[in-house]
Amino acid sequence: MVPVKFADLGRRPYQEIWDFQEDCLQKVISQKIASRTDPDIHPDLFLFFVEHDPVFTLGKSGKEDHLLVDQTELKTRGVDYHKINRGGDITFHGHGQIVGYPIWDLDQIYTDIHRYLREIEEVVILTLQDFGISNAGRSEGLTGVWVGEEKICAIGVRTSRWVTMHGFALNVNTDLSYFNLIVPCGIQDKAVTSMEKILGYRLHPEDVKASLKQNFEKVFPIMLQAYEV
């Protein structure tokens, strides 16, 4: 099993955590380069959970017109907006959503980005099943996790030297009205949902996080270790 340092970062602004991810990515890449000449060096792997203040993020392949409001309205609503370096289009992060950021050297697991994405989906699918959402699954040709025709979890990643960053965003008790201000993930004809909407009650985020952690260890050959940030 590959050890992975885990930390729950609580509620943080998006830019702060994006910068933090970039720092961790560069640390892992530096360790990876050093390990080529020193076999005693093993690059760190990290997994972070976080809840962001309201923000729209636009991926490298996204279209700016998928943001349906102007900057003035964003400021009025207290929503940030960032163009970022992950794949995918536009999505929302906010309160009541669990965002997960694996910063992993895939050379220590497997160098297959498509398998990596499918297995992150599997972690989320198993977690939803733990809470009685048995019809969660995939939509052919699309990344993420769906319940029927509604997306419940968005996934977007970046890799550099086979080191990953960014990750997934699972709607738990999320205010879904924010998604009316964008074309979510650039998909015109599908809606967005949450665990709360499906189940009819608010969930305890710590219960969902615990399930996610268990399922990460079930799906991937990893062992999570507590990490102080």
Closest CA to 209 of 63, 97, 120, 73: 97
Residue 90 phi/psi, 5-degree rounding, is -95, 140
Q: Taking each helix axis from N to C terminus, what angle separates 205-219 and 113-130, rounded to the nearest 10 degrees?
A: 140
Lookup: tokens for 146: 């769906």
Bridge pairing between strands 2-12 and 142-147: unpaired
The string of DSSP letters for 186-220 reads: G-TT-EE--HHHHHSS---HHHHHHHHHHHHHHHS
Tell me which of 47, 165, 170, 185 is the catalytic residue: 185
Within 13 Å, how many C-alpha atoms sit on residue 114's CB side? 2
- In the annotation, is 185 catalytic? yes
Q: Distance from CA of residue 104 to its chain's centroid? A: 13
Catalytic residues: 185
